[in-house]
Amino acid sequence: MIVHIQDIVIGHRAPLVLFAGPCVVENRTMVLRTAEIVRDTAARRGVPVVFKSSYKKANRTSASSFSGLGIQEALRVLADVRHEVGLPVMTDIHSEDEAEVAAEVADVLQIPAFLCRQTELLQAAGRTGKVVNIKKGQFVAPDDMKHAAGKVKDTGNNAILLTERGTTFGYHNLVVDMRSLAIMGEMGYPVILDATHSVQLPGGSGGSSASGGQPEFIFPIARAGVGVGIDGLFIEVHPDPPRALSDAASQLPLELLDTLLVQVTALDRVVKGF
């Protein structure tokens, strides 16, 4: 199946699509500057790109963690990315009420992994007519994602993406089973690999209020996923990850994005035969 995000084609062996941006909208200046660098870096390597950032983080490890600027202000920043930087936008939604509000700005509505079985949320996203990216829950088998996709499809919306982001592997750890990418691909929907959330150590940062991470594995996991033949690569990037207000331990430094794209695009061309 092919899905269109503005003029970007994803799926059916089309060239790899990049989904990239900081975890959360921290402030307008940083987000727009990051979007410009992501745009220019991807263009230099001939990679179609969708900008991703959350206007709200609703599942932080601690209630005291930064959750966002406020929905309206953060959505205005994402609207500026869309209109001033010229990139399509993907962002998370967390409730039925948020679906219509976010759809006024976003080209792609993302269902967070923890909410991938929420029927009403999936249906609300589907009814907007926007592309819906469903992240596979850490607790969900890949073949069961057909049920989540079916809830969106039943609204008459076939513009569905499925994203792997790691599976719970004991306490404070995730593992990416590369078989899941092939299994979900057999369902006919474009498949994305989230190579940054996959290196998280959930809640595992020495007892602190933040999740840990192993960013040194972003490159090998991304290369492995592209080797399987994924349609899209999801990478959270930040100009200064240690100072990020969310997922500081697992975001890719923005200056490394170009190197990563050089590697994965070369693999993508080999795997897809173009």
- Do 201 and 211 meet the contact criterion of CB atoms below 8 Å apart? yes
Which residues have a Cβ under 8 Å from the Cβ of 149 and sit 6 or more positions away? 134, 160, 162, 187, 189
Structural domains of the chain, count: 1
Residue 18 above 80 pLDDT?
yes
**How many Å apart are CA 88 and CA 144, to the nearest integer?**
29
The confidence score (pLDDT) of residue 134 equals 98
Give me the CATH number covering residue 233: 3.20.20.70
The confidence score (pLDDT) of residue 202 equals 87
* Domain, as residue range, for 260: 3-272
Residue 127 above 90 pLDDT?
yes
The confidence score (pLDDT) of residue 142 equals 98
Mean pLDDT, the chain, whole residue set: 94
Residue 205 above 60 pLDDT?
no
Confidence of residue 250 (pLDDT cuts 50, 70, 90): very high
